[in-house]
Structure 1
Amino acid sequence: MTDPSQQLRSALDALDTVFAPVSERPFTVGGCAYCYTDADLAALAGPSQRLPEALVRSVAAESEGHWDDFPALYRRMTPRVVRLLATDRLHVDHGLIASRLLAAEPRTWSEPEREALEGVWHAWWRAALHEYPGTGSVTGVLEAVSVSTGSLSPWLTVWAGTRTDAADRHLADALDDWLFEGQLADLRLGFYDELHAAPELLSWLLSLEEGRIGAAQLFEVERIAHR
């Protein structure tokens, strides 16, 4: 079986292929002339694969109000943004990117585009769980894939079924993050807190097999869940 890292690379290549008709055709870009030069706007009107990474990073994080047609621009740039994100080269908050993707109205995209993006999310999540310490935070990956798809459940199911040392060490690290200052009690994911994760996450944590969570962390999870 192909290793998870190779599966991720293949999924990213498939995303490029599926989006090529959108990403490569000429596009009229209207945007904030204060933040972006005429040269930037001209570059954004051309094939997105030719854009410098610095410009991709800037546009990836930029708010919708900077563009005349934000959904169309973000859709054509999705393969570049997602590749940099999944390879830990975007250097933009995962929750912010998930929120921007939601604002790009992915439900209006073609079925092949939606399926290709979901394929990347699944491959990225599995790759993250199989490598420790890995590239980037597993909680960031979970935030990106769950917020952009609107659901935690499928990703938690994969985590529960991934019985590797790497997955368990990621779980311990994630709990350290979530339990810090009691954040787990009202954990919300996404830059704009779009996904209320606490109820589902607490239920999932308590359903894990005995020994999957250390005693001290489990005590805190139970205390939060039952207070």
Structure 2
Amino acid sequence: MFGAVARPASVPGCPHCVEPGEQACLLSGPVSAIEAGSLARYAAKALTTWGDVPAFRYFLPRLLECAAADAFSYPDPEIVLGKLTVAGWHGWPGGERAAVTAFLHAWWLDTLRRHPSRPPADTVLCAVAATGVDLTPFLDAWAALESEAAIAHLRDFVTDGLSGRRLTNAFWDRGAPAHAQVLAWLGDGPAARAVEAAFARESREPVLGLLADVHGRLPRS
């Protein structure tokens, strides 16, 4: 869908933040070939001090690819995905919105299938939340606990990503509905029911150990 977005003639930025020649590496070849190291500075400054929304839409497929691969030392995936909200992507053409949504779901499902993953599930879920989408289908997919990897991710999340009634990733907007939604999923029953259902069908001792660890760490309302 984004292949139809016009290549910008230039990507001007704040003269105090962007060197005059920095945009050259962004426009010297196809967007798919831009080196992650070259794109990182643009990713950090996009829509604040460098470039406009049309330019962001042009670079978006490569930005998402790099974020999903954790290819930037900075900015973090949560920052990159949060720029979609700044760009007002919920008002973009339907095909572009559908492409972004499909990417988010594919990234999340791929994460749940691999453990350890880079970036970890905590980062991916926070990055998805930064786009402003409803997290219900993402949490439902996790609640299926279809693999040992998904269970291990949940163990990591309740061990390192949760402190009382607070998610510890610094990029969570703790006043946003998504933060409350994840806490409710963890503490008001859905996650516990998912763990109990997994207990009932599981026989492997290592996986049962993971499930017991998760169950013991889930917050109680």
Q: C-alpha displacement at 1:197, in angstroms?
A: 3.7
Q: What's 2:77 paired with?
A: 94
1:78-122 deviation digits (Å, cap 9, x = unpaired): 111100111221233222122212101112322111111111111
Q: C-alpha displacement at 1:214, in angstroms?
A: 4.7
Q: What's 1:201 paired with?
A: 182
Which of 160, 171, 183 is residue 143 of structure 2 equivalent to?
Answer: 160
Q: Distance in 2 between matches of 1:218 and 1:135?
A: 25
Report matched runs for 1:1-227 at 5 Å: 18-22=1-5, 25-44=7-26, 47-62=30-45, 64-67=47-50, 69-91=51-73, 92-179=75-162, 182=163, 184-187=164-167, 191=171, 193=173, 195-205=176-186, 206-207=189-190, 208-209=193-194, 210=196, 211=199, 214=211, 217-223=214-220, 225=221
1:192/1:73 CA distance change after superposition, 3 Å = farther
RMSD of aligned Cα (Å): 2.7
* Higher helix fraction (1 or 2): 1
**Unaligned regions of 5+ residues in structure 1, if any?**
1-17
Q: What's 1:14 paired with?
A: none
Q: Distance in 1 between matches of 2:145 and 2:213?
A: 22
The amino acid that maps onto 2:110 is A
Native 8 Å contact 1:146 1:155 kept in 2: no
Native 8 Å contact 1:128 1:134 kept in 2: yes
Native 8 Å contact 1:188 1:198 kept in 2: no
Native 8 Å contact 2:7 2:55 kept in 1: no
1:148/1:170 CA distance change after superposition, 3 Å = same
Secondary structure in structure 1 of the residue aligned to 2:114 = coil
Q: C-alpha displacement at 1:21, in angstroms?
A: 2.1
Q: Distance in 1 between matches of 2:48 and 2:86?
A: 11
1:197/1:56 CA distance change after superposition, 3 Å = same
**Unaligned regions of 5+ residues in structure 2, if any?**
200-207
TM-score, scaled relative to structure 1: 0.76
Q: C-alpha displacement at 1:147, in angstroms?
A: 2.3
Secondary structure in structure 2 of the residue aligned to 1:39 = coil
Q: Distance in 2 between matches of 1:192 and 1:174?
A: 14
1:127/1:83 CA distance change after superposition, 3 Å = same
